[in-house]
Amino acid sequence: MIRLFGGRIFKTGISVFITAFLCQLFTWPPTFAVITALVTIEPTAKESIRKAPARFQASSIAASFAVLFTFIFSDSSLAYALTAVFTLMVCTKLKLEDGLLVAALTGMAMISIVQEAYMATLLMRLGGTTLGLLISTCVNIFILPPNYLLKISKTSTQLMNRMENILVYVTNNIKQGNSSRNEIKQVIAKIEEEIAHYQQLIQYQKDEWRFHKFSRKDVFYLRQKERHLNILKQAFIHLFQLVNLSLKELTPSPYLMRLLQDTILHLKQPSKQPNEEDYFHLRTQYTLNDNHLKIEENMLAIQQLIMQYQMNEEKLRKLNERIINVENTSI
């Protein structure tokens, strides 16, 4: 089944519909309330509540400047320019950056419709903005609360795949003596972006649980995924060091190549555990220089971290099996 839109888009549509309906019921112009509802749906309920005061204050400032400069300069280009400049300047000075977008839209849209009864127009527009903020916040709290656990799991899997890509790159680099780093730069940038996204998703999920019920299973799952994040961060530190080491002129060592190949195999097949006796036998046959020793140190650390990651994955798998068995027994 094709998913045409996500929950956030759906909630935005509901928020706009309810806001417009109430404005028509109260015979208020819906434009400003709808604009506010349209741009204020956030990833979490906590974010909506946190940003609401700044958005209301910024909108009030923008509306006031719009009325003031329209009164002085009428509906002119100067009124638009001064409203924009003073709104941005005052909101930035007051640290209301979270409300800048809705404030700018409110201020610009007001100028063309302010003709007379300036104070009444100002109060009505602020009432609409307040209504839009309230509706969007309530919709974000009570309708389709987001569950980020699936996205967290997908991001974790993607990062493990990136780890394999880097290990393959390092292996090829050592084999071929290739000193170009261009092909790996994009992968490293993507990894840093995904780690930040992973951390953000975990925080989003914690924020959501402040407003919605959650199960012990979900808490356990999130804790394991937090451990995964810490493990992955440490692993990528070692991986980036390996990338730098592989760019140096190195004599390929069968021992190090075996370490790299076994680690890649272990990522694909967790049941394939490295054979320490083979490692010891190979290591004693070759002399390792300083760079070789650094590569060995990083590779052994990565292997340990991968084993920790896979042990946590096994805990999650067993937990899911127990839950499925309990559910089957209760049916």
Instruction: Tell me the pLDDT tens digit for each residue of 213-226.
Output: 888 889 999 999 99
Can you give the pLDDT of all 331 residues of the chain as single tens digits? Answer: 445 567 788 899 999 999 999 999 988 888 888 988 988 888 888 899 999 999 999 999 999 999 999 989 988 899 999 999 999 999 999 999 999 999 998 888 888 877 677 788 888 888 888 999 999 999 988 888 888 999 999 999 899 988 888 888 888 877 776 555 677 778 888 899 999 999 999 999 999 998 888 888 899 999 999 999 999 999 999 998 888 877 676 667 787 888 888 888 878 776 666 666 666 666 777 677 788 788 888 888 998 898 889 888 888 888 777 766 665 565 5
d(CA 272, CA 306): 12
DSSP state of 116: S
What's the token pair of residue 321? 């099996």
* pLDDT tens digits, one per residue of 186-217: 888 889 999 999 999 999 999 999 888 888 88
Nearest one of 38, 11, 62 to 131, comparing CA atoms: 38
What's the token pair of residue 318? 């067993």
- Reported pTM: 0.81
* pLDDT tens digits, one per residue of 7-21: 788 899 999 999 999
Is residue 192 within 8 A of residue 155, CB to CB? The reply is: no
Burial 151-185 (b: 16+ CB within 10 A, else e): ebeebbeebbebbeebbebbbebbeeeeeeeeebe
Is residue 44 within 8 A of residue 146, CB to CB? The reply is: yes
Q: Which long-range contacts (CB under 8 A, 24 or more apart) does 198-205 make?
A: 198/152, 198/155, 198/156, 198/159, 198/229, 198/232, 199/229, 201/148, 201/151, 201/152, 201/155, 202/148, 202/152, 202/226, 202/229, 204/43, 204/44, 204/146, 204/148, 205/147, 205/148, 205/149, 205/152
What's the token pair of residue 234? 């440490």
32 Cβ contact partners less than 8 Å away, ≥ 6 residues apart: 106, 109, 110, 125, 128, 129, 132
